[in-house]
Amino acid sequence: MRRTIQPEILDGLAPDHPDARHSRRDLRLTNALAGSHRWIARTLPPLLRPGERALELGAGTGELGARLAAAGVAIDGLDTCPQPAGWPSDRTWHRADLRAFDGYATYAAIVGNLIFHHFTAGELAALGEKIRRHARVIIACEPARVRRAQTLFRLIAPLFGANHVTRHDAHVSIAAGFRGDELPRALGLAAPAWEVRCSTTLLGLHRMIALRRA
């Protein structure tokens, strides 16, 4: 599968649109089933040094950030959406486009869950230039670009009542996902400056851990 990027329906809906609310519910269930939040919550804390702050890109409804904050991670959120009601009161919510955000210098760790696949190769290169100047840790969970993931989601989507937005966007997201070392290469996380580990799960998640050397 060649990587292709198409508009996702959810991105064009108002946050309070019924279809958007239903699709966000579907995303919560999908994250729970695939284990992306659990993996990030297990992986990130041991990589942080005392006093380091983390930033979640595309923080969305805030569940992952709230989970990390409850575990003691100093994490802030960045999204174009308004701050969600359950966002921790002692953590910052930046409402901005991550491509134009100018506050990356204060964050040692960058977290992305199902966000990098939205962007073209050129946009990823520009974003990588921004975040790798200052970040020491970058971790990501993205769709794995494999046809079996599209087939699997098509089979399980009816079992949890996924709506038409979720079914469409999942197919599009997987087609825009990553394989092998595509994501770190797109972000410019090259050796010897960066140590990178990528893996793909049976349920179709592509995981990346990138650590700046020295």
Instruction: Please list the residues that pair with 94 across neighbouring strands.
Output: 78
Residue percentage of the chain with pLDDT more than 90:
91
- The Cα 3–Cα 119 span in angstroms is 11
In this predicted model, what pLDDT tens digit does every residue of 163-175 receive, in sequence order? Answer: 999 999 999 999 9
Domain ranges of the chain: 9-197
For residue 145, the model assigns a pLDDT of 97
Closest of 184, 210, 162 to residue 23, by C-alpha: 162
Residue 214 — very low, low, confident or very high, per pLDDT cuts 50/70/90?
A: confident
For residue 176, the model assigns a pLDDT of 97
Cis peptide bond upstream of 50, omega within 30: no
Task: Evaluate if residue 1 carries a pLDDT over 90.
Answer: no
In this predicted model, what pLDDT tens digit does every residue of 137-158 receive, in sequence order? Answer: 999 999 999 999 999 999 999 9
Average pLDDT, the chain: 95
- The Cα 19–Cα 12 span in angstroms is 11
Residue percentage of the chain with pLDDT more than 70:
100
- The Cα 50–Cα 109 span in angstroms is 12
- Give the CA count within 13 Å in the CB-facing half-sphere of 154: 9
For residue 21, the model assigns a pLDDT of 93
Mean pLDDT computed over 88-116: 97
In this predicted model, what pLDDT tens digit does every residue of 22-65 receive, in sequence order? Answer: 999 999 999 898 999 999 999 999 999 999 999 999 999 999 99
For residue 39, the model assigns a pLDDT of 97
Under 8 Å between Cβ of 58 and 85: no
Give the pair of three-digit tokens for residue 151: 């087939």
- 9-197 CATH choice from 3.40.30.10, 3.20.20.140, 3.30.530.20, 3.40.50.150: 3.40.50.150
CA-to-CA separations, 188 to 56, 97, 127, 185, in angstroms, rounded: 19, 20, 9, 5
Residue 4 — very low, low, confident or very high, per pLDDT cuts 50/70/90?
A: very high
Other residues' Cβ atoms within 10 Å of the Cβ of residue 186? 20
Inter-axis angle of helices 36-47 and 18-34, nearest 10: 60
Task: Evaluate if residue 15 carries a pLDDT over 90.
Answer: no
Give the pair of three-digit tokens for residue 183: 């994501």
